[in-house]
Structure 1
Amino acid sequence: MKRPNLLLLTIDCLRYDSCGFNGYDRPTTPNIDRLANTATIFDNAYATGPWTAESFPGILSGRLSRDTAYYEQTSWKAIPNDAPTLATWLQSHEYDTLARISNPHLSQYRNFDRGFNSFENLRINRLGEKFTADRAAGDSPSSKAKIISSIRSTMRRLKDYDIPLSHTAPVVAYRLNQLSGQWPTIAAEDVIGELIATIDSTDQPFFAWTHLMDLHAPIHPERAREGGLLSSDSTIRQFVWDANRLVNEYEPHYRDMYDSTLRYIDHQIGQLIEFLKANNKWENTVIILTSDHGEALYDRGIYGHAAGRDKFEFESDRHYMYDELLHVPLLAKSPQDDPQRLNHLFSLGWLHELIAELLGIEQVEMPLSSDRESHFNEESGEIIRSDVISGESQTIAVRNNEQKIITHRIENGAINIDAARVYAPEFDRREQHPLEEEPSPQLAEAIEQINLQKELPQLNGELSADTEELLEDLGYR
Structure 2
Amino acid sequence: MAAVKKRLVFLLIFALAAGGSASGENKQARRLNILLFTADSCRADRFGCYGYRGGTTPNIDNWAKSGTLFEKAYSTSAWTVPGLASILTGLYPPAHGLNNRDQAGSPRLVTMMKFFQQQGYVVPNLNFFTFAPYYRNFGLGRIENEYFTQTPGEELAGWIEKTASPTQPFFIWYHCTTIHQPYNPPAADFPGPREELMKRPGIKAVMTGAIVPAGSTQFTESDRPILNGLYDAEMKRMDRIFAAALAKLANKGLLENTLVIFAADHGEELLDHGFVGHASTSLQAKLYQELTRIPLILSCPGLIKRGRISRPVNQTDIFPTLLRLLGLKPPVEMDGQDLFKGPSRPLFFESVVAGNQTTREREKTWIRGTIDRNYKYISTGELYDLKKDPGEKNNVIKAKAAVAARLEAQVGKWMSASKQRHDVLFPPESKPAPPDRAEAPTIFTPENGKKLDYDVHTGMLLFDWSGDMETTYLVEYDIGLGDHHVAGVYETQGNHQLLGPLGRELWENLKAWNPFKIRVSRKTAPPVWSAWTTFEF
1:71-99 CA-partner distances (Å, limit 9, x unpaired): 9xx33443322211111122222221223
Matched with 1:303 is 276
Which of the numbers 84, 89, 98 marks the counterpart of 1:56?
Answer: 84
Q: Distance in 1 between matches of 2:413 and 2:328?
A: 30
1:368 has 2:368 as partner: no
Which of the numbers 187, 205, 219 marks the counterpart of 1:249?
Answer: 219
Aligned partner of 2:306: which letter? P
Deviation at 1:358, TM superposition (A): 2.7
Matched with 1:276 is 249
TM-score (norm 2): 0.64
Given that 2:153 and 2:176 are in contact with CA atoms closer than 8 Å, whether structure 1 keeps it comes out as no
For residues 187 and 322 of structure 1, do their structure 2 counterparts lie closer, same or farther at Cα, with a shift above 3 Å needed? farther
Aligned partner of 2:81: which letter? A
Given that 1:40 and 1:340 are in contact with CA atoms closer than 8 Å, whether structure 2 keeps it comes out as yes
Q: Distance in 1 between matches of 2:146 and 2:347?
A: 33
Q: Distance in 1 between matches of 2:239 and 2:105?
A: 30
Query: Secondary structure, in 3 states, of the residue corresponding to 1:87?
Result: helix
1:15 has 2:43 as partner: yes
1:114 has 2:114 as partner: no
Structure 2 gaps, min length 5:
1-28, 207-211, 354-362, 430-471, 487-505, 514-537
TM-score (norm 1): 0.71
Query: Secondary structure, in 3 states, of the residue corresponding to 2:304?
Result: coil
Question: Which protein has the bigger helix share?
Answer: 1
Q: Distance in 2 between matches of 1:92 and 1:363?
A: 13
1:350 has 2:305 as partner: no
Which of the numbers 172, 175, 178 marks the counterpart of 1:214?
Answer: 178
Query: Secondary structure, in 3 states, of the residue corresponding to 2:175?
Result: strand
Query: Secondary structure, in 3 states, of the residue corresponding to 1:236?
Result: coil
Q: Distance in 1 between matches of 2:476 and 2:98?
A: 12
1:334-364 CA-partner distances (Å, limit 9, x unpaired): 2122211000111101211121133222223
Deviation at 1:463, TM superposition (A): 6.1
Which of the numbers 382, 400, 403 marks the counterpart of 1:437?
Answer: 400
Give the percent of matched residue pairs that are identical in Structure 1 and Structure 2. 22
Matched with 1:388 is 351
Given that 2:96 and 2:109 are in contact with CA atoms closer than 8 Å, whether structure 1 keeps it comes out as no
Matched with 1:192 is 156
1:83 has 2:109 as partner: yes
Deviation at 1:381, TM superposition (A): 3.2
1:400 has 2:372 as partner: yes
Deviation at 1:237, TM superposition (A): 4.1
1:404-428 CA-partner distances (Å, limit 9, x unpaired): 11116xxxxxxxxxxx321111221
1:101-155 CA-partner distances (Å, limit 9, x unpaired): 24x4x435323562235545899x99xxxxxxxxxxxxxxxxxxxxxxxxxxxxx
Aligned pairs for 1:316-355 (under 5 A) are 317-335=283-301, 336-355=303-322
Deviation at 1:50, TM superposition (A): 0.4
Given that 1:43 and 1:341 are in contact with CA atoms closer than 8 Å, whether structure 2 keeps it comes out as yes
Aligned pairs for 1:409-420 (under 5 A) are 420=381
For residues 67 and 197 of structure 1, do their structure 2 counterparts lie closer, same or farther at Cα, with a shift above 3 Å needed? same
Matched with 1:41 is 69
Deviation at 1:36, TM superposition (A): 0.1
Query: Secondary structure, in 3 states, of the residue corresponding to 2:123?
Result: strand
Q: Distance in 2 between matches of 1:308 and 1:261?
A: 17
Q: Distance in 1 between matches of 2:364 and 2:143?
A: 32
Query: Secondary structure, in 3 states, of the residue corresponding to 1:353?
Result: helix
1:461 has 2:431 as partner: no
Which of the numbers 188, 206, 209 marks the counterpart of 1:226?
Answer: 188
Matched with 1:426 is 387
Aligned partner of 1:257: which letter? L
Q: Distance in 2 between matches of 1:238 and 1:195?
A: 37
Aligned partner of 1:60: which letter? L
For residues 84 and 463 of structure 1, do their structure 2 counterparts lie closer, same or farther at Cα, with a shift above 3 Å needed? farther
Return the structure number with greater relative CO, CA threshold 8 A, min gap 6: 1
Q: Distance in 1 between matches of 2:317 and 2:244?
A: 29
For residues 87 and 20 of structure 1, do their structure 2 counterparts lie closer, same or farther at Cα, with a shift above 3 Å needed? same
Deviation at 1:204, TM superposition (A): 1.4
Query: Secondary structure, in 3 states, of the residue corresponding to 2:72?
Result: strand
Aligned partner of 1:6: which letter? I
Deviation at 1:235, TM superposition (A): 3.9
The number of equivalent residue pairs is 385
Aligned partner of 2:54: which letter? R
